[in-house]
Amino acid sequence: MHRAAQLPVCGGRVPPGRSRERRRILTVDTATPPLSLSGPAMLALVGPPGSGKSTIAATYAAHLGEHTRVLSLDAYRARLSKWGEEADQAVTPRAIGALHADLADHLDAGRSVIVDATNARAKDRKKLLRIAREHAAATAAVLVLPPLPVCQERNAHRDATVGACGYARQVPALVVASMHAAITVNRPLGSEDWDMVTEVSPGRR
């Protein structure tokens, strides 16, 4: 069994011999991860569409090294879509299942994983935590939560053309607002079993 990476604690489970700390690391336009992962570890991004998650995931992966993998839910949708479209919501359940299976495989192999998805619902985050715990992996949640108008503006610049799958890359504004609210009301995820919770500002534009 692999040893879990040692991460600072922010709410959630407290390792033996360590006191509970409740803190968030706030960074602005960060280019480096606000934590160190020695693997296996799972870093889950939590943010609505248009928040800048994918940019942060790619940047973090570059800094964390070759033993880190980025699992993007959009990429899984594109792979499973009949039309190769990442906006294809019809394949989302299968895409999530495939992502979870690969997450388990990577952690079992001793690699660290960055999960690039909205992860806006507590039950979705709970599933990720369960997989990580089954593989003795350390866990970190990174909240990516710019102001709602910033997310809406970025989303408005996405392609609004409805593809062959019946969906567009631009997410309905009400969905963006709903996810933003769901994450905001639960921040900083103190009731969840994360080893570390941080909040990152990817910039206003």
pLDDT at position 12? 37
Residue by residue, DSSP assigns 15-26 as -TT--------E
All domains in the chain, ordered by first residue? 26-201 (3.40.50.300)
pLDDT tens-digit series, residues 48-104: 999 999 999 998 898 888 889 999 999 999 999 999 999 999 999 999 999 999 999
Helix H or strand E encompassing 102: helix 92-108
Which of 4-8, 135-139, 156-160 shows the lowest per-residue confidence on average (mean pLDDT)?
4-8
How many whole angstroms separate alpha carbon 112 and alpha carbon 152? 31
Confidence of residue 160 (pLDDT cuts 50, 70, 90): very high
Q: How far is residue 38 from each of residues 4, 50, 65, 137, measured CA to CA in Å?
A: 8, 29, 10, 10
E strand residue ranges, 10-51: 26-28, 41-46
Q: What is the CA radius of gyration of the chain?
A: 17
Contact between 146 and 51 (Cβ < 8 Å): yes
Confidence of residue 163 (pLDDT cuts 50, 70, 90): very high
How high does pLDDT run on average in the chain? 85
Would you say residue 130 has pLDDT above 50? Answer: yes
